[in-house]
Copies of this chain bind each other. A is one copy, B any other.
Amino acid sequence: MARTQGSHSGITGPRVRAAALQLFAQHGYAAVSMRQIAREVGVQAGALYNYTPDKQSLLFDLMQTHMTELLAAREHSPRGATPTEALEHFTRLHLRFHSERPDEVFIAYMELRNLTPENFAKIEELRRSYEDGLETILRAGVNSRDFEVNDPKIAAMAVIAMLTGVNTWFREGGRLSLTEVEQIYWDMVRKAVGA
């Protein structure tokens, strides 16, 4: 099913990114070769360089796109009238967004060390921005006495770590539905911050 020369598919670009995403998530960036990605797409290795300047950019683009979409999803999601409501929205959005993108999440957490220092700094800034969003909600809740949180910065990290951990075991069609998982985790998060 090898693609023939000269064919203007117009969809090879997305297919390259999709193949890289899946392979990086499964085997790790360093363990995946450009030839493997090319084989998955049905093309020779050289053809990949019509769509990415190099392997590093392929990784960076995947991570940047993921983080940007995460932040965009936050902006387009309801704010919540109270800190408790805002925290519930954050929790549910995080679970939903991450469960829909297991490969992206895996890469975003596992492949940071394979970014060049410059690329790493850019991704870290996006991540910090996301964490700050949660921290802001927690601080607001502490001020309004809705929450009982000792250290909002650490609580934000703890909550995100807990929520992201879902991706290590959750599979659509398993014992629990996403809705049930959301409820269970929102319960634990709410209690953990004393709301």
Tell me, yes or no, whether A136 is within 8 Å of chain B by CB. no
Q: Could you mark each residue 152-195 of chain A with 1 if its beta carbon is under 8 Å from any beta carbon of chain B, else 0?
A: 00110111111011101100000010000101110111011110
Residues A113 and B194 in contact in the complex (CB < 8 Å), given A154-B176, A158-B188, A165-B157: no
Q: Report if A165-B176 is in contact (Cβ < 8 Å); known contacts: A27-B113, A28-B113, A30-B31.
A: no
A143 at the interface (CB under 8 A from B): no
Q: Is there a chain B Cβ closer than 8 Å to A116's Cβ?
A: no
CB contacts (< 8 Å) of A188 on chain B: these are 155, 158, 192-193
Number of copies of this kind of chain in the complex: 2
A interface secondary structure, majority: helix
B-facing residues in A95-132 (Cβ within 8 Å)? 110, 113-114
A30–B113 CA distance with the chains assembled, in angstroms: 12
A57 close to B (CB within 8 Å): no
